[in-house]
């Protein structure tokens, strides 16, 4: 197979012969001529076998190879007005590299009728579909875009531990495990570590897997998901909201430039989003006018949806979030000192915080804020949240020897993929989802 060329090259190539390999999409016999469509990741081509000019053995098998089998073909490249793309291959030799079972467990056609749970049971086969490949090609661009953007911002890429000794996002959603004689947990976030690193290296980013033992089964939650995390020293929430806005805009632009074909396959109309900054209180007033109930310190999915109806194609930053609705590490508004990075001039209400959520296409994609970097205030905040400061000793200590004010955010990779592509279930945006009912494949 060392002479194998990608199928898409055939359409550009001037050569007369080619060796290709891929998956059998379909085949059919029309009397004295047989056809087979072969697909690889770069494209697909018609293999045409006229009885009189094709080797007998090749002619015999060509319409007998089960769909999705893997074959290699050596043959002649011919111009053809009837063939899709204007070229076809007249086969000299066909080798079956892996024969598929005749009966496929799921429908792998472009518009598969198989339901999502069954498709996920056979995800490896679902991934033969061009539509599914397109989703993960876009996700690959999102990941590359995030990294490229962060490198341009001069942030340091870092990796953090996934086994932790105490919670960072609240105690109820942790997966417990045995760590020799002690209890340990799977990380819910790299929150505390990215903060400690930003306090020396100033700007840091990572792609981090998180585990949350949330019991609810929704179309926007996973039990294992990935976060694009960012943290920056000498910054308040407005400085990092600006970074987040530019980051999402950079990623969307890159997807628009590099995934034209995938967006077409997925029938997605995408625009680079604008930004809107609004306080939690202003959202509450807006919702009152629209007769929509708003929670005391959180936004319901209905509110998130309405906000994006009012501000379409926009990243809506809801800031000055009630302190009761944010984790212990978020700075209360009253604890904020003026910073060189940006000045926000917002209200300094005692119940308000320097935390925010970012909402895009009707769903929260990110949350973040300025952090508490004063040890005494941190102890106070931990207690206020009913947590034991003893469990956070090394984290508290890290702010005792010169820790600058800092801020950051975390953005869900699968959420962003789902919203950019308008997918209706987050499981479509994960190769191998982990949810309440699913641990395989």
User: Which residues in this chain contact ligand AMO in the complex, by CB under 6 A?
Assistant: 169, 189, 191, 212, 214, 221-222, 225, 227, 364-368, 408-412, 414-415
Max distance between CA atoms of the chain, in angstroms, equals: 88
The nearer residue to ligand AMO, 4 or 436, going by C-beta atoms, is 436
Query: Rounded to the nearest whole angstrom, what is the least distance from the CB of residue 221 to ligand AMO in the complex?
Result: 4
Q: What tokens were used for 51?
A: 């009885």
Measured CA to CA in angstroms, residue 169 lies from 183, 237, 367 at distances of 18, 18, 12
Rounded-to-integer distance, Cα 143 and Cα 412, Å = 11
311-322 burial, b if ≥16 CB within 10 A, otherwise e? Answer: beebbbbbbbbb
Bridge partner list, 40: 43
The nearer residue to ligand AMO, 365 or 372, going by C-beta atoms, is 365
- Please answer whether residues 158 and 165 qualify as being in contact, where contact means their C-beta atoms are separated by less than 8 angstroms: no
The nearer residue to ligand AMO, 75 or 327, going by C-beta atoms, is 327
The nearer residue to ligand AMO, 395 or 409, going by C-beta atoms, is 409
The nearer residue to ligand AMO, 27 or 366, going by C-beta atoms, is 366
Query: Rounded to the nearest whole angstrom, what is the least distance from the CB of residue 416 to ligand AMO in the complex?
Result: 7
Query: Rounded to the nearest whole angstrom, what is the least distance from the CB of residue 438 to ligand AMO in the complex?
Result: 13
Give the Cα-Cα-Cα angle 362, 368, 373 (nearest 5 degrees): 170
Rounded-to-integer distance, Cα 107 and Cα 103, Å = 10
Query: Rounded to the nearest whole angstrom, what is the least distance from the CB of residue 122 to ligand AMO in the complex?
Result: 23
Rounded-to-integer distance, Cα 239 and Cα 248, Å = 15
Query: Rounded to the nearest whole angstrom, what is the least distance from the CB of residue 186 to ligand AMO in the complex?
Result: 13
Query: Rounded to the nearest whole angstrom, what is the least distance from the CB of residue 135 to ligand AMO in the complex?
Result: 16
Query: Rounded to the nearest whole angstrom, what is the least distance from the CB of residue 342 to ligand AMO in the complex?
Result: 17
Query: Rounded to the nearest whole angstrom, what is the least distance from the CB of residue 371 to ligand AMO in the complex?
Result: 8
Bridge partner list, 369: 355, 408
The nearer residue to ligand AMO, 68 or 364, going by C-beta atoms, is 364
Q: Which residues contact 115 (CB under 8 A, 6 or more apart)?
A: none
Asked if omega into 441 is within 30° of 0 (cis), the reply is yes
Bridge partner list, 343: none
Q: What tokens were used for 144?
A: 């590359």
For residue 293, give the 3-state DSSP assignment. coil
The nearer residue to ligand AMO, 132 or 418, going by C-beta atoms, is 418
The nearer residue to ligand AMO, 68 or 237, going by C-beta atoms, is 237
Measured CA to CA in angstroms, residue 145 lies from 140, 148, 255, 383 at distances of 8, 5, 8, 39
Residue nearest ligand AMO by beta-carbon distance:
412
């Amino acid at each position: 197979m060392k002479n194998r060329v990608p199928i898409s090259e055939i359409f550009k190539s001037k050569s007369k012969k080619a060796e290709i390999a891929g998956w059998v999409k379909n085949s059919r016999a029309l009397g004295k001529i047989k056809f087979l469509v072969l697909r690889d990741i770069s494209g697909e081509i018609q293999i045409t076998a006229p009885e009189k000019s094709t080797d007998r053995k090749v002619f015999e098998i060509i319409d007998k190879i089960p769909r999705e089998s893997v074959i290699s073909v050596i043959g002649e490249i011919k111009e053809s007005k009837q063939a899709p793309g204007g070229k076809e291959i007249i086969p000299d030799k066909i080798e079956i590299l892996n024969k598929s079972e005749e009966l496929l467990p799921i429908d792998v056609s472009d518009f598969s009728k198989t339901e999502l749970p069954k498709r996920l049971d056979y995800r490896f086969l679902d991934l033969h579909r061009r539509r599914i490949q397109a989703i993960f090609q876009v996700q690959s661009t999102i990941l590359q875009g995030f990294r490229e953007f962060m490198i341009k911002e001069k942030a340091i890429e870092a990796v953090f531990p996934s086994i932790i000794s105490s919670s960072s996002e609240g105690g109820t959603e942790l997966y417990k495990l045995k760590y020799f004689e002690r209890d340990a947990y799977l990380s819910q976030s790299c929150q505390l570590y990215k903060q400690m690193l930003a306090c020396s290296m100033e700007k840091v980013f990572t792609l981090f897997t998180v585990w949350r033992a949330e019991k609810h089964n929704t179309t926007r939650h996973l039990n294992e998901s990935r976060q694009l995390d960012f943290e920056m020293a000498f910054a308040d929430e407005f400085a990092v909201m600006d970074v987040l806005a530019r980051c999402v805009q950079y990623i969307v632009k890159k997807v628009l430039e590099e995934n034209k074909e995938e967006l077409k396959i997925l029938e997605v109309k995408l625009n680079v989003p604008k930004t809107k900054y609004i306080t939690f209180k202003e959202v509450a007033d807006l919702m009152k006018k629209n007769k929509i109930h708003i929670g005391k310190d959180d936004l319901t999915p209905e509110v998130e949806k309405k906000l994006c109806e009012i501000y379409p194609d926009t990243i809506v930053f809801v800031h000055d979030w009630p302190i009761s609705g944010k984790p212990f590490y978020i700075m209360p508004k009253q604890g904020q000192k003026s910073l060189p990075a940006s000045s926000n001039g917002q209200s300094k209400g005692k119940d308000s915080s320097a935390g925010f959520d970012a909402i895009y296409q009707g769903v929260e994609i990110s949350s973040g804020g300025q952090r508490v970097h004063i040890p005494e205030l941190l102890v106070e905040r931990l207690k206020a949240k009913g947590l034991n400061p003893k469990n956070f000793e090394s984290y508290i200590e890290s702010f005792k020897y010169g820790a600058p004010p800092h801020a950051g955010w975390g953005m869900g990779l699968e959420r962003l993929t789902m919203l950019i592509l308008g997918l209706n279930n987050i499981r479509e945006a994960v190769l191998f989802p982990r949810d309440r009912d699913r641990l395989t494949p």
